[in-house]
Structure 1
Amino acid sequence: MKYTLMVNEGPYQHQSSDTALQFARAALDKGHEIFRVFFYHDGVNNGTRLAVPPKDDRMLQKEWSELAEKHGLDLVICIAAAQRRGLMDASEAKRQGLTADNIAPGFRISGLGQLIEGGIESDRTLVFGD
């Protein structure tokens, strides 16, 4: 089965991000395909490389990046939600006249069309969070 995942909550405010990550791992381990993971609303905070959780906490952003590298996942951050929350990749930062970016490895910024395409191309779209 082919899945698209939509993550609507940040990594440390709600269980949704962790549940989505665990689902993705389990699905891939069972031979299923993850077509795309789309991060929306506060879920875009899963893609920042500047978060520094306490040493005894998990670094979910790094875990998403590692999973993407290992399995070639497409991790897409909604551009409108990202801009509202101060997340920029290098090209968007330049376009906005900013001098720095903060997107974690393996993530990319794009629009809602990527979510629609994921829904069309996948057998199921699962939403994690409100």
Structure 2
Amino acid sequence: MKFALALFAAPHAPSSRRALRFAEALLAEGHEIVRLFFYQDAVHLGSALPVAAQDELDLPAAWRALVERHRLDAVVCIAAALRRGVLDAGEAERYRRPAANLSQGWTLSGLGQWHEMAQEADRLICFGGD
């Protein structure tokens, strides 16, 4: 079965961990994840800069590892990302910021990607929405 996952909550929120475990379970069972879409405060999961406390799970690092290991399509909403200071090299240059911090292999894009993934997937699962 094809799944699309949308995340809304900040990295430290319980739903971010649940989403990670759900994604891992899907892949372990042989399902396909057509896209991960990070929106609202979940865009921070796409940043390469957060540092977790030593006694906590480093969720941004865990998401990066999952995306890399399974070559997942990880899309960060560009509007939400810019508002929260998550930039790729192109946006950092465009807005004259000193650095980019979007994790390698992740993409900034718009809600069109959300619509597309909803069309491609058999199931769209959302985590952390208000």
- TM-score, structure 2 length as denominator? 0.96
Q: Which residue of 2 aligns with 1:7?
A: 7
Q: Which residue of 2 aligns with 1:115?
A: 114
Aligned residue pair count: 129
Quote the offset at 1:108 in angstroms: 1.4
1: distance between equivalents of 2:110 and 2:61?
23
SS class of match (1:4):
strand
Q: Which residue of 2 aligns with 1:76?
A: 75
Q: Counterparts in 2 of 1:99-110, with a 5 A limit?
A: 99-110=98-109
Bigger CA drift: 57-66 or 31-40? Answer: 57-66
SS class of match (1:55):
coil
2: distance between equivalents of 1:105 and 1:11?
18
CA contact (8 A) 1:61 1:104 kept: no
Quote the offset at 1:105 in angstroms: 2.7
1: distance between equivalents of 2:27 and 2:52?
27
Letter in 2 for 1:10: A
Deviations 1:57-86 (A, max 9, x none): 111111111111111101110000001101
Identical pairs, percent: 47
Question: Which stretches in structure 2 are left out of the alignment for 5+ residues?
Answer: none
Deviations 1:32-63 (A, max 9, x none): 00000000011101111111111111111111
2: distance between equivalents of 1:67 and 1:46?
12
Letter in 1 for 2:3: Y
Question: Which stretches in structure 1 are left out of the alignment for 5+ residues?
Answer: none
Q: Which residue of 2 aligns with 1:52?
A: 51
Letter in 2 for 1:103: L
Letter in 1 for 2:35: R
Runs of 4+ in 1 over 2 A off after TM superposition: none
2: distance between equivalents of 1:10 and 1:106?
20
Q: Which residue of 1 aligns with 2:22?
A: 23
Q: Which residue of 1 aligns with 2:31?
A: 32
2:40 pairs with 1:41: yes
2: distance between equivalents of 1:129 and 1:59?
18
Deviations 1:68-111 (A, max 9, x none): 11111011100000011011011111111112011123321111
